[in-house]
């Protein structure tokens, strides 16, 4: 690894990987470092390998990807090879909707919904693989950014292992260290991005910090269950099944969606996504099981799975989607401070989610190129 990077990106999710890959295509000799708190690439679209059972590998964050019918040529250039090679699968028919009366129906009839194959983390890996010089893109995993500051025209990033990283340019692919929610999550007393600047020194950063405070985030918890009964799982005819819960159910139980993912040994992982607007609360597993059994009373195959399922993990998500007050794209880059921002917290012409994150990264690369 180099002593001073040309670009350091905080995060290794979809927006970060898109930025790194596209920047590498434009400038293949620049050194790029992605600093990620998680154990592997992907961010919210990552895939987890179970520490207790090495055979199990499952998606526990972003469950699917969708794009508008008319997307930019640059984004199409990135995803078309994945679609053509079967690494980005159309799973529209495998996404169902369940209402408060326990009736299942197709969730989508017009839109195409994708997922990366075999795992969601492969989407980011394939984006990175499209760069011209992948050797210039480096990663630091299980690394938490503690503070950032600009000293003598270089960014110094202090991380949790005591290491200091130096970089000519800094990119934040998440709003975390720019938003007050990081104070509790990171157990710190002041906002890292605010600490890096004297108020009034950089108008772009001042405006970004002010606007970011208005963002409201949905808090998510994911409960991971495992069905090890192979004779039972053989009767389950889905590879990747998602069921979205009606708003009435969401308001009553906080259930957002449930994902079924077959494992290499034939067993099934069930990931229950729960969402909370204000405070994250703990739910008793017995109550969760009773609610699921009640909702799916009309479908024996699901009842059998829930009765055999055992909880093996749960996650509180730090990286959740913003709900409102998306930021102006004019706040993406400060040339005076050499700091940029990308992700789904920017308003990209009414597109949302993954597409918004990727477009923001594309736009940021263009801004860097221009300056």
CATH class for the domain made up of 91-117+218-317: alpha beta
CATH class for the domain made up of 4-88+120-216+323-370: alpha beta
**Residues 222, 223, 227: CA angle, nearest 5 degrees:** 135
| Rounded distance between C-alpha atoms, residue 114 and residue 323, angstroms | 22
- Relative to beta strand 240-245, strand 95-98 is parallel
Which tokens in the block code for residue 272?
A: 């229950």
Give me the pLDDT at residue 276, please: 80
**Residues 14, 258, 76: CA angle, nearest 5 degrees:** 30
Residue 32: DSSP 8-state: E
- The domain locations on the chain are 4-88+120-216+323-370, 91-117+218-317
Radius of gyration over every alpha carbon of the chain, rounded to an integer in angstroms: 21
| Rounded distance between C-alpha atoms, residue 369 and residue 371, angstroms | 6
Give me the pLDDT at residue 319, please: 61
Position of tokens 């720019």?
178
Task: Name, in order, each residue with C-beta under 8 angstroms of 314's C-beta and a sequence gap of 6 or more.
Answer: 221, 222, 223, 224
| Rounded distance between C-alpha atoms, residue 296 and residue 19, angstroms | 42
- Are 24 and 30 in contact by the 8 Å Cβ rule? The answer is yes
* Global pTM exceeds 0.85: yes
Q: Which residues of 176-191 are buried (b: 16+ CB within 10 A; e: fewer)?
A: bbbbebbeeebeeeeb
Give me the pLDDT at residue 185, please: 81
Give me the pLDDT at residue 218, please: 81
Give me the pLDDT at residue 124, please: 97
Give me the pLDDT at residue 352, please: 79
Give yes or no for a cis peptide into 327 (omega within 30° of 0). Answer: no
Spell out the per-residue pLDDT of the chain, length 371, in tens: 458 999 999 999 999 999 999 999 999 999 999 999 999 999 999 999 888 888 999 998 999 999 888 888 889 999 999 999 999 999 999 999 999 999 999 997 677 899 999 999 999 999 999 999 999 999 999 999 999 999 999 999 999 988 999 999 999 999 999 999 888 888 889 999 999 999 999 999 999 999 999 998 888 899 999 999 999 999 899 889 999 999 999 999 999 999 999 999 999 999 999 988 666 678 899 999 999 999 999 999 999 999 999 999 998 876 667 888 999 999 999 999 999 999 999 999 878 789 999 999 999 999 999 88
């Amino acid at each position: 690894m180099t002593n001073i990077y040309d670009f350091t990106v905080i995060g290794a999710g979809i927006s970060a990987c898109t930025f790194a890959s596209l920047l590498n295509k434009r400038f293949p000799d620049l050194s790029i470092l992605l600093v990620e708190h998680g154990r592997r690439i992907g961010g919210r679209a990552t895939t987890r390998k179970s520490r207790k059972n090495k055979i199990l590998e499952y998606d526990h964050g972003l469950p699917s990807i969708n794009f508008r019918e008319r997307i930019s040529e640059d984004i199409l250039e990135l995803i078309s090879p994945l679609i053509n090679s079967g690494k980005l699968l159309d799973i529209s028919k495998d996404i169902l909707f369940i209402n408060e009366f326990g009736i299942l129906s197709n969730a989508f009839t017009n839109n195409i919904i994708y997922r990366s194959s075999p795992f969601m983390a492969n989407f980011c890996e394939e984006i990175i693989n499209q760069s011209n010089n992948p050797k210039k893109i480096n990663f630091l995993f299980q690394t938490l950014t503690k503070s950032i500051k600009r000293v003598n025209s270089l960014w110094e990033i202090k991380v949790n292992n005591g290491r200091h990283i130096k970089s000519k340019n800094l990119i934040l692919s998440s709003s975390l260290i720019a938003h007050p929610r990081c104070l509790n999550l990171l157990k710190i007393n002041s906002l890292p991005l605010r600490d890096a600047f004297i108020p009034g020194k950089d108008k772009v950063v001042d405006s970004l910090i002010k606007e970011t405070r208005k963002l409201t985030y949905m808090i998510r918890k994911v409960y991971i269950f495992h069905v090890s009964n192979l004779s039972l799982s053989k009767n389950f005819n889905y590879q990747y099944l998602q069921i979205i819960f009606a708003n009435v159910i969401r308001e009553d139980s906080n259930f957002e969606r449930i994902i079924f993912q077959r494992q290499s040994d034939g067993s099934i992982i069930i990931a229950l996504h729960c969402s909370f607007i204000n405070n994250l609360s703990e739910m008793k597993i017995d109550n969760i099981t009773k609610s699921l059994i009640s909702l799916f009373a009309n479908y024996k195959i699901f009842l059998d799975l829930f009765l055999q399922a055992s909880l093996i993990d749960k996650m509180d998500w730090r990286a959740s989607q913003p709900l409102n007050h998306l930021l102006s794209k004019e706040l993406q880059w400060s040339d005076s401070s050499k700091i940029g921002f990308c992700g789904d917290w920017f308003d990209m012409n009414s597109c949302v989610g993954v597409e918004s994150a990727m477009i923001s990264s594309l736009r940021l690369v263009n801004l860097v190129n221009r300056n």
